Amino acid sequence: MSVKVALGLFLGFVIGFGCAFFSIPVPAPPVLIGALLVVAMTSGYILADKYICPLKANAQAKNCGGPSGE
């Protein structure tokens, strides 16, 4: 497991614990299906960013002037 995943899980547990301890609403859906929806949307965003965006990254490169504007 990578450090980012472990840190993300730890931070999620800390935020959840803090919300329960201070009796404030949790910034996430309170049911399992809602939590799974958040996971699915996040996974879809990451996969699209990884596989689709690199294909479109240089589509307008010929129209860019670069730092000098030429």
Give the model confidence (pLDDT) of 40-61 as tens digits. Answer: 888 888 777 777 766 665 666 6
Provide the sign of the torsion angle of the four alpha carbons 50, 52, 53, 55, taken in this order.
positive
Q: Which of 20-24, 27-31, 46-50, 58-62 has the lowest mean pLDDT?
A: 58-62
Assess whether pLDDT exceeds 70 at residue 67: no
**Token pair of 52 as six digits:** 């689709």
Look-up of token digits 């809602």: 34
Supply the pLDDT for residue 36. Answer: 80
All structural domains of the chain with their residue ranges: 3-59
User: What does pTM read for this prediction?
Assistant: 0.44
Secondary structure letter of residue 51 according to DSSP: H
